[in-house]
Amino acid sequence: VQLVESGGGLVQPGRSLRLSCTVSAFNSGDYGLSWVRQAPGKGLEWVAFIKTKSLGGTTEYAPSVKGRFTLSSDDSESIAYLQMNSLKTEDTAIYYCTAVSPHLGFDFWGQGTLVTVSS
Amino acid sequence: QSVLTQPPSVSGAPGQRVTISCTGSSSNIGAHYDVHWYQQLPGTAPKLLLYGNNNRPSGVPDRFSGSRSGSSASLAITGLQAEDESDYYCQSYDISLNGWVFGGGTKLTVL
């Protein structure tokens, strides 16, 4: 399983940005994909989750991003997109894409992509 | 403030044993959701260290072990080595938030 994030960069507050996560393949036990972020010098924060289409493709969001962020995937489920709207300075973080297993937790992680929200 | 509470830092000499606590509540660990632990070496992405409370993925030394009791969990590292110096995070699922929660992280220093 390999996960590669892209799309990070510098964006002004209030603007939008879309992150991508390219997935080589899901582990047989994985049932979805999550984004986790880490603000500079801070801990990990779960952001969003999407189940595989075979399990319904449903999504869940952390309260801090609900209504602003949208997680989706393409038909082949080889790319997941995190659409981030109405960005705030507190959204500045490294965003990691992770595979999720109900029994193993977040078993595979990408290398992360940095999002900086600043004027 | 994190939903799961960890000590900010712990330390130990090489060869010693250290433990890192992770305290939750009745909506996460206390609700019998599994606890997972992650290790994050400086400048790298987190890596799964323990899953399902006390199971090691392939490649993780048996010096690392975990336990869970009530609304708390702990990570134990025996025979401390210099390369264990890292940040450690606990994680569980929270039914009231309908999502995953992490501890604030614990920085392990090997003296």
Size of interface A-B (CB pairs under 8 A): 64
For residue A117, what pLDDT is reported? 98
B36 in Cβ contact with B48 (< 8 Å): yes
For residue A15, what pLDDT is reported? 98
Output b/e per residue, B11-44; b: 16+ Cβ within 10 A: ebeeeeebebbbbbbebbbbeebbbbbbbbeeee
CA distance B23 to A118: 35
B99 in contact with A at a CB cutoff of 8 Å? yes
**Is B47 exposed, middle or buried (CB count within 10 Å of its CB: 0-12, 13-18, 19+)?**
middle
**Is A15 exposed, middle or buried (CB count within 10 Å of its CB: 0-12, 13-18, 19+)?**
exposed
For residue A1, what pLDDT is reported? 82
B103 in contact with A at a CB cutoff of 8 Å? yes
Give B24-59 pLDDT, tens digit per residue.
Answer: 999 999 999 999 999 999 999 999 999 999 999 999
CA distance B71 to B22: 9
Mutate which of A27, A34, A37, A106 to test chain B, going by most B C-beta atoms within 10 A?
Answer: A106
Backbone angles phi, psi at B85, to 5 degrees: -65, 115
Sign of CA dihedral A53, A56, A62, A67: positive
Question: CA of A12, closest CA in chain B: separation in Å?
Answer: 26
pLDDT along chain A (119 residues), means of 10: 95 98 80 95 97 90 97 88 98 97 91 97
Taking an 8 Å cut-off on Cβ atoms, the answer to whether B105 and A43 are in contact is yes
Give B80-90 pLDDT, tens digit per residue.
Answer: 999 999 999 99
Give B3-20 pLDDT, tens digit per residue.
Answer: 999 999 999 999 999 999
Taking an 8 Å cut-off on Cβ atoms, the answer to whether B102 and A60 are in contact is no
A66 in Cβ contact with A86 (< 8 Å): no
B105 in contact with A at a CB cutoff of 8 Å? yes
Q: What is the DSSP string of B50-74?
A: EBTTTBPPTT--TTEEEEEETTEEE
Closest by CA to A99, choosing from B62, B51, B109, B75, is: B51
Question: CA of A105, closest CA in chain B: separation in Å?
Answer: 6
For residue A49, what pLDDT is reported? 96
Taking an 8 Å cut-off on Cβ atoms, the answer to whether B45 and A105 are in contact is no
